[in-house]
Amino acid sequence: MRITIFGSGYVGLVTGACLADAGNHVVCVDVDPAKIERLKRGDVPIHEPGLDEVVRRNQAKGRLEFTLDAATAICQSLFQIIAVGTPPDESGSADLKYVLKVANTIATHMNEYKVVITKSTVPVGTADKVRAEISRTLAARPASVEFDVVSNPEFLKEGAAINDFMRPDRVIVGADNPRVTELMRALYEPFTRNHDRLVVMDIRSSELTKYAANAMLATKISFMNEMANLAERLGADIEKVRIGIGSDPRIGYGFIYPGVGYGGSCFPKDVQALEQSGRAVGYESKILAAVEDVNARQKQVLFEKITAHFNGELKGRTFALWGLSFKPNTDDMREAPSRVLMEALWAAGASVRAYDPIAMPEVKRLYGERSDLALVGSMEEALTGADALAIVTEWQEFRSPDFDTIRAALKQPAIFDGRNLYDPALMSRFGFTYYGIGRGAPRPSRA
């Protein structure tokens, strides 16, 4: 099949690479000349495990191309996938200007039947707006060309996107006629061969499914953080509670890990956008508002623990930070809890020595050169001259460090563990004052 994808960001690039890997011919269109030149050289501008290999393999076989020429790409492909950004506007609603611009571009150049697929995360009713924009543009040409609009939201986890696309839990298709449903079934058949995971529904239900899924996962995270804060005040251990409730199959273990709040490009934006969608139809979602409030508060927890431990005297101190990206296996710093912590420490007059396996170039891009920020080459180097250690992202290499080295390097043997990587009793025996999330009262050193 021949496929054109608009947008060579995270979703567009993963989608294009995986569809090409199944034998399709894919052209990714973007408006950024520098990005297109990088991609033509096989230089993937985002970090996603395995993506570089898939992109280069399919470029070499001639199945994956990158271009600025939208007109040619539109004419040569049946499927037109819209995967551009939908950033929040001032109200928190998803801004559809890029989506509708692509719809206009498709309608300007299409000369035969096309399947227009919205893969960007968009509010309910967006497909109607895309259809109206295409119809308006065709009428203005004037031209009479048949087309269908399909909702096909993505469910890719950063750090595991290739596997998610190749072996999907489900493929949601929102369509309004059987013909286009069968075309979508053929498009995804290589990825659903063992089990038919195609879930077909009406377009508006498909659009809401994406938002509802992310809002549900964000709700689980905020709920667990709420329980962690309660456990801490009641003298309970939230990690034991987590195992106790996760063993119930109605709840499960997914997304019930307490921590310092969720971040990234999806959950914060989508919860906010869904909340705004409710307001647009006269409905106030109290649960979604609470999810947001709890998450914002949770991002302050590590700073509050640090401030209390040092009796508010942070000026002139240095803190080691392990982990900067909002989660492991990505360099994404959007809405990352580490940003809230670093900015609070800087405002209090403290300095930061930080290490992250992947995200430090992005941090440097965001903050530039600062005298109160040192981005260092190893987790051990981050400890040098630090008053205490804060763990913000649960990278695998942080799970079993040399605790003797940590204790020897820190001015005070204090660990503020925002991801509950370590056992409080063990930390106490190693000589640390240990602060977890929802682990009861802080464990003083017994060394």
Q: Which residues are catalytic?
A: 266
> Any bridge partners for residue 351, and if so which?
318
Q: Which of 163, 176, 171 minimizes the C-alpha distance to 187?
A: 171
Contact of 218 with 291, CB cutoff 8 Å? yes
Distance CA 303, CA 309 (A): 10
The contacts of residue 269 (CB under 8 Å, 6+ apart) are 86, 87, 88, 94, 121
Distance CA 120, CA 172 (A): 13
Task: Annotate 339-384 with DSSP letters as a single string.
Answer: HHHHHHHHHTT-EEEEE-TTTHHHHHHHH-S-TTEEE-SSHHHHTT
User: Between the CA of residue 22 and those of 32, 54, 77, 158, 198, what are the distances in Å?
Assistant: 27, 11, 16, 21, 17
Contact of 118 with 82, CB cutoff 8 Å? yes
Three-class SS state of 275: helix
Distance CA 27, CA 7 (A): 10
* End-to-end Cα, the chain, rounded Å: 66
Distance CA 375, CA 356 (A): 8
Q: What are the φ and ψ backbone dihedral angles of 84, each rounded to 5 degrees?
A: -85, 170
Sign of torsion, CA 304 310 316 317? negative
Largest separation between any pair of C-alpha atoms in the chain? 82
Distance CA 126, CA 103 (A): 11
Contact of 292 with 272, CB cutoff 8 Å? yes
